[in-house]
């Protein structure tokens, strides 16, 4: 995969737009999902994802081949969504120390058997409830929660995407989980 991406990037730098279309096809769903999970709005997510790909194309010469292309692209998309969130409304930060992180997982637990229509509706309602709770988080917590639990990235990758030390990522992850636990405590 890395060789494919490196070849595509070389071709892009030589002006081959079809090579860039290959990279867009490879990452479009992941970038859209990231933007949607951060913004909570399909139209805004589509716009942000498209803008991320445009910025990546325009600034392809700044891409460092020693870095994973996906990390670079995620950083662009994450920064765009954070900018959009900041323009929406002022942030309220949860900077006080919070106790414990036991019990909260962000992964949906779907049984391996066929689900009944009632269970499917309940699952969708739960997913929507969790998504709304994530949308209410301040962007600094929302971004690490989405990247960790929904995009399944490592702490190191999140650190590189957000340009933060791993320790800060861990702290924000902890505080974001606590904020979600408080919001979802009734479930």
Model pLDDT, residue 48: 93
Domain 117-183 fold: Arc Repressor Mutant, subunit A (1.10.10)
CATH 1.10.1740.10, the chain: domain bounds:
2-88
- Summarised one tens digit per residue, pLDDT across range 157-173 is 999 989 999 999 999 99
- 170 closest CA partner among 180, 154, 155: 155
Given a contact cutoff of 8 angstroms between Cβ atoms, the answer to whether 177 and 145 are in contact is yes
Biggest CA–CA distance in the chain, Å, is 56
Q: Which of 24-28, 73-77, 107-111, 126-130 has the lowest mean pLDDT?
A: 107-111
Architecture of domain 2-88: Orthogonal Bundle (1.10)
- Summarised one tens digit per residue, pLDDT across range 4-19 is 888 888 888 888 888 8
Q: Which two tokens stand for residue 177?
A: 């989980």
């Amino acid at each position: 995969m890395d060789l494919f991406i490196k070849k595509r990037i070389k071709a892009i730098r030589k002006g081959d737009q079809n090579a860039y279309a290959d990279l867009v096809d490879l990452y479009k769903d992941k970038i859209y999902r990231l933007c949607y999970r951060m913004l909570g709005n399909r139209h805004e997510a589509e716009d942000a994802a498209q803008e991320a790909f445009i910025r990546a194309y325009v600034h392809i010469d700044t891409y460092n081949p020693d870095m994973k292309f996906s990390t670079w692209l995620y950083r662009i998309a994450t920064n765009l969504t954070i900018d959009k969130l900041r323009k929406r409304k002022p942030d309220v930060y949860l900077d006080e120390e919070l106790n414990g992180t036991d019990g909260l997982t962000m992964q949906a637990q779907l049984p391996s058997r066929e689900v009944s229509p009632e269970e499917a509706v309940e699952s969708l309602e739960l997913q929507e409830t969790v998504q709304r709770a994530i949308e209410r988080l301040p962007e600094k917590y929302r971004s690490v929660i989405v990247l960790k639990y929904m995009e399944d990235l490592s702490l190191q990758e999140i650190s590189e995407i957000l340009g933060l030390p791993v320790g800060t990522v861990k702290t924000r992850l902890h505080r974001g989980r606590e904020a979600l636990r408080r919001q979802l405590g009734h479930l």
